[in-house]
Amino acid sequence: MNNYRDLALAYHRRLPEGIRKHLHSIGISDLVICRYRLGWNGERITIPITNRERKVAFFRLAKGPDSIGPDMITWPEGSVGLYGWERTTHWRERLVICDGEFERLVLEANEFPAITSTGGTHTFNAEWADVLGQIPKIYLCFRNDGAGDNSLGNIAALMPRSRIVYLPAEVGLGGGVSDFFVRLNKSREEFERLLTVAQPLVPAALRLNSDQHDG
C-alpha cells in the first residue's frame, strides 16, 4: 500500500506563494488549488491523480515557471489514468473531456466539470467511454493545433453522442482553454455559448458524400 495521499498533502502544504501566483496566472483559482491538492515537490508542481476509489494512484508533475525539462511527467513512470473520476460518481447532465491536466483545472475553475486522460489525447480507454457514456451530454474540447483531430475521431467513435467544442481562432495555434479564459479574457458565458453550438463529429466519408451531393 502506498502513502501517496499523505505525500500529496505534504506537497500541498509546501506550495510556495510564487507557484500559487503562477497557477493563478494560467487561470487556476485558489479554490481549485485546494480542492485538488496541487502542491510543490521542490522542483515541480504536483498534481495528485486519484482512481475510481478516490485514492491517490500516482502524480503528474508539471513544469514550474523556472523549471527545466518536459512540461509534464508522470511519477511513478508509466502510470496512466483518467484525471477526474470523481466527476463520474454522481449523476450529472454534462461533462467536458479536454486534453491536459491544467486545461481540466481551468475548466473546473470556471465551473465546468471536466476530465482528461493523463496519457494524452491519443490514450483513451474504451472502458472509460463505457462509464462516461451514461452522461447525457459529453463535450470534447481539445487544443487548437490539429494534433488532436485523430484523437477526436477516436473518442467520438467510442461515444457517438459526444459533441465537439471548437475554440475560436484567436486562441492561436496550440491555444487552449487557458488562453480562452485568461489571455483573451473570455467569460464563462462565452464558453457556454461554444457548448451550445457544439455538434457531433461528422466522419470524413460522410462529409465527402454530403459535399458531392451538394455540388
pLDDT of residue 29: 97
Ordered DSSP codes for 43-103: SEEEEEEE-TTS-EEEEEEEE-TT--S-SEEEESTT---EETGGGGSS--SEEEEESSHHH
Q: Mark residue 4 as left, alpha or beta (left: phi above 0; alpha: psi -120 to 50; beta: remaining).
A: alpha
CATH of domain 80-201: 3.40.1360.10
CA distances from 70 to 26, 63, 103, 148, 182 (A): 18, 7, 17, 19, 23
Percent of the chain scoring above 70 in pLDDT: 90
For the chain (length 215 residues), average pLDDT per consecutive 10?
88 97 97 98 97 94 92 92 92 92 97 94 87 92 73 84 93 92 96 96 49 43
Query: Torsion over CA of 202, 208, 213 and 215, rounded to 10 degrees?
Result: 120
Q: Which fold has domain 1-78?
A: DNA primase DNAg catalytic core, N-terminal domain (3.90.980)
Domain segments of the chain: what residues? Answer: 1-78, 80-201
Report pLDDT digits (tens) over 76-123: 988 899 999 999 888 889 999 999 999 999 999 999 999 999 988 788
